[in-house]
């Protein structure tokens, strides 16, 4: 993980946690604030919270940009290892190299290549599950494995979840108010 991505993740998490604290604690910004013994008076104190939201949006976009520059997050590799380790093989499969190829984020195919073939000559394995429901279950289980047994999800995905909490809280409060 690059230093720039770490910095953006830290900033996003801090602004998100501040907004969560403001929202959950029901905090309001007063027009009179004392900082180091000096009194500061705000004409529009609610704009400070607006500024925090602007910072949140900025850090959210920056984190997304730096995350997209990372060469490999390792999430799909961890999921592939889990699928290969738990995939039912028979003795016929020992002559083949197997791997999982990902399409988009969650769709995958089980591919194979005979050990005597050209590495570019591959095919979708006959063992590839035909049921989309079964693939969804396997994908979900593999993701749970990566999310709970490796730091990959907490490094890259969890900051987005934390960042969405203040947005959800504000929307909840908006729809709950008369």
Q: Which pLDDT score is estimated for 131? A: 75
H runs (alpha helix) in the chain: 3-25, 46-69, 75-86, 132-149, 152-156, 158-176
Q: Give SS3 for 9.
A: helix
Instruction: Please tell me whether residues 23 and 81 are part of one structural domain.
Output: no
Q: Which pLDDT score is estimated for 166? A: 93
Instruction: Please tell me whether residues 80 and 54 are part of one structural domain.
Output: no
Instruction: Please tell me whether residues 94 and 145 are part of one structural domain.
Output: yes
- Domain range for 58 is 3-70
44 assigned to some structural domain = yes
157 assigned to some structural domain = no
Task: Report whether pLDDT(142) > 80.
Answer: yes
Give the Cα separation of 173 and 166 in Å (integer). 10
Task: Report whether pLDDT(92) > 60.
Answer: no
How many domains is the chain partitioned into structurally?
2
29 assigned to some structural domain = yes
Q: What is the pLDDT of residues 41-56, one digit of tens each?
A: 777 777 888 889 999 9
Question: Are 96 and 125 in contact, with CB atoms under 8 Å apart?
Answer: yes
- Does 79 or 161 have the greater pLDDT score? 161
**112 is written with which tokens?**
């194979």
87 assigned to some structural domain = yes
Which of these ranges, 23-27, 116-120, 166-170, has the smallest mean pLDDT?
Answer: 116-120
The alpha carbon dihedral of 105, 107, 110, 113 has a sign of negative
Domain stop point among 38, 70, 102: 70
Task: Report whether pLDDT(163) > 90.
Answer: yes
Burial 100-109 (b: 16+ CB within 10 A, else e): beeeeeeebb
Instruction: Please tell me whether residues 111 and 127 are part of one structural domain.
Output: yes
Kindly write down the DSSP assignment for every residue of 22-70, as one continuous string.
HHHHT----SEEEETTEEEE-S-THHHHHHHHHHHHHHHHHHHHHHHH-
Instruction: Please tell me whether residues 46 and 113 are part of one structural domain.
Output: no
The pTM for the full model equals 0.69
**155 is written with which tokens?**
């490094």
């Amino acid at each position: 993980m690059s230093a720039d991505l770490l910095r953006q993740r830290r900033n996003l998490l801090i602004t998100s946690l501040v907004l969560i604290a403001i929202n959950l604690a029901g905090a309001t910004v007063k027009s009179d604030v004392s900082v180091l013994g000096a009194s500061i008076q705000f004409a529009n104190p609610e704009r400070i919270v607006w500024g925090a939201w602007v910072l949140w949006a900025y850090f959210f976009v920056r984190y997304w940009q730096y995350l997209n520059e990372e060469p490999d997050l390792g999430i799909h590799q961890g999921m592939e290892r889990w699928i290969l380790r738990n995939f039912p093989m028979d003795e016929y499969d020992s002559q083949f190299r197997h791997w999982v190829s990902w399409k988009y984020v969650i769709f995958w195919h089980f591919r194979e290549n005979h050990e005597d073939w050209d590495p570019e000559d591959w095919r979708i394995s006959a063992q590839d599950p035909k049921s989309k429901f079964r693939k969804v279950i396997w994908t979900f289980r593999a993701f749970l494995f990566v999310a709970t047994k490796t730091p990959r999800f907490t490094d890259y995905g969890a900051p987005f979840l934390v960042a969405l909490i203040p947005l959800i809280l504000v929307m909840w409060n908006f729809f709950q108010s008369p």
